[in-house]
Structure 1
Amino acid sequence: MNPLQRALIEKGGNDNGFEYVLASEQSGVMLASARHLTRVMIVLENGAYQAHFQAASPTLLLELQRSFPQQGVESGRFTFDTETALAVLLRRAASLSRALPDQAATDYQHAVTAELAEFSAGIIGTEVERLVRQRVGQNKFRSAMLDYWGNACAVTGITIPAVLRASHTKPWVECASDAERLDVFNGFLLSSNLDALFDSFLISFDENGRLIIAPALIGKDLLLLGIVAEMKLRWVTPKHQSYLVMHRARLLKKDYLKS
């Protein structure tokens, strides 16, 4: 690896979520970030860039293998022919690393601590503290969902930020812990119409991500809402499934005709 190639890798890391260079040697470049715990060693082999990830969460490698099925190999190694393709991988890895458990929950705790420090100690345990925690948590959850879903609706692919909502599968108030509330797999990034229906248990998704529609929604309503039966999630993982089982049960249980 010559100096120009090392410089291009370092710039690619800085521009795509890996702003720190931990090592830059003839054998390769080690990149890291202050915003997440993932590290990646980039080496050049037979004219191709190989990215070897040291991931804080094993889920990261599974998600990257889903996103880059042709480039991923065992032991967290991904191979790309160009600097542009490598940049796409690094950007996706950084986004996932910020979103996946437990990074979002860690960021939430730091943000809450910083905000509460600006108030007097007397607010601990009060409604003010609860509201601070809820506001910060919802902002962190939305940020994580935007990172995970690539700033696009999990169903339609719409990329207009103003109409995207971070929708919980298990409602915020029913979650047993902050980790569950901030779990990126406990919800989907949805356009506002889908979010309103999902939040009200009027739609859900089956184990393959296909749309389930409550009987209360008649054809005319669906047409006006822009909902078609063929809709499905762009992807769904095993970690979504336990939450979706609960959500589908709520949809089937609720008596919408009397509500």
Structure 2
Amino acid sequence: MYIRCLDGYYFAAARTALQNQHMNEPWTRDQLLVVFNLYCRIPFSKTKANNPLVIEVARQIGRSAAAVAMKLGNFGSFDSALRAKGIKGLSGASRADRAIWEEFNQDWAKLSIESGLAADRFPGSSLALPPERDVASRPVDGYLAKCADIVSGPSETAREVKVRLHQRFFREAVLASYGDSCCVCSNPVPQLLMAAHIVPWAEREDLRVNPRNGLCLCSLHHDAFDNGLWAIDDTYQIKLSSALRAYLPSRILEVNFVEFSCAQIRMPDKFWPEKEFLAFHRSNLFRE
């Protein structure tokens, strides 16, 4: 079988053999970083070889879509949230896979930037910009492309770029974990969804990018959460504050809050919210 190209004819078998030879090479750190970044930004149910994002990442890093999907499954095997739902991921994870997983979990801020910059190191890469979820907020020009020197510098511009990189990674990871819908009311409208910090951004710098410190909330439930009008207990059930109940009876509050009182939030596929962070919110923000 032949493939017609502008430069002439090539044997498809020879091309396949060349691809297979490349795919048998050890995974590089940049390849693993890019694939783990993708793992964080898409629901686990979409880590399939036929997902256009998986196909695009595979093309850019020089691997097959099946190989990328398998690597995503390997990362899933380390995720306790998936195991709690009876999803085991794949069993063939390597030491390098585990090392990347542990590195991210120890320093989300550092690795969120490094994994983004890794994408930009592939020739002609279009992976620097993640899937657009926030249509109301467009990325700055050259968001990741060629900004390694900026990010490593001491300037105010470098700080701003880092903040934007962190915010974008956090939003993508949190929304993907919750299937792009509010974990209270299941609102699926992208323009109304927020990646809420459980421990506020200003309180703990080390938790700003950690997706386990995040909840996917619609704008109404986000504002109410930040103002301590409701909280989540250790069984992931919703508690309403006396400050909110003081406005009852109210049809609006009954529909948007009372209806969900004592119900469990819709748990994410990945990165379950840490009980320690939820306890901090109850102790410091919740208006009992």
* Equivalent position of 1:64 in the other structure: 82
Greater relative contact order, per chain length (Cα 8 Å cut-off, separation 6+) = 2
Q: Is the 8 A contact 1:57 1:101 kept in 2?
A: no
**Structure 2 unpaired stretches of 5+:** 1-47, 92-100, 119-142
2:252 paired with 1:224: yes
Q: 1:32 aligns with which of 68, 73, 85?
A: 68
Q: 1:152 aligns with which of 178, 181, 185?
A: 181
SS across alignment from 1:58: coil
* Shift in Å, 1:128: 2.8
CA 1:198/1:221 → structure 2, altered by over 3 Å: closer, same or farther?
A: farther
* Equivalent position of 1:244 in the other structure: 278
**Structure 1 unpaired stretches of 5+:** 1-11, 41-52, 78-96
* Shift in Å, 1:170: 0.9
Q: Is the 8 A contact 2:112 2:166 kept in 1?
A: no
Q: 2:214 aligns with which of 184, 187, 190?
A: 187
TM-score (norm 1): 0.59
Q: 1:55 aligns with which of 75, 83, 86?
A: 75
* Equivalent position of 2:231 in the other structure: 204
Which AA in structure 2 matches 1:128? T
Pairwise mapping of residues 1-259 of structure 1 onto structure 2 (< 5 A)? 13-15=49-51, 18-19=54-55, 20=58, 31-32=67-68, 39=71, 53-55=73-75, 58-59=78-79, 62-67=80-85, 69=86, 72=87, 76=90, 101=105, 105=109, 106-111=111-116, 115=144, 118=147, 124-177=153-206, 180-217=207-244, 218-220=246-248, 223-225=251-253, 226-228=256-258, 229-235=261-267, 240-252=274-286
SS across alignment from 2:239: strand
* Shift in Å, 1:107: 3.4
Q: Is the 8 A contact 2:150 2:158 kept in 1?
A: no
1: CA distance between counterparts of 2:117 and 2:155?
14
2: CA distance between counterparts of 1:238 and 1:208?
12
SS across alignment from 1:208: coil
1: CA distance between counterparts of 2:150 and 2:236?
46
SS across alignment from 1:150: coil
1: CA distance between counterparts of 2:149 and 2:53?
36
* Shift in Å, 1:130: 2.6
Q: Is the 8 A contact 2:174 2:216 kept in 1?
A: yes
SS across alignment from 1:158: coil
What fraction of aligned residue pairs are identical, expressed as a percent?
22
Moved more, 157-166 or 109-118: 109-118
Q: Is the 8 A contact 2:77 2:90 kept in 1?
A: no
- Quick check: which one's strand share is greater? 1
TM-score (norm 2): 0.54
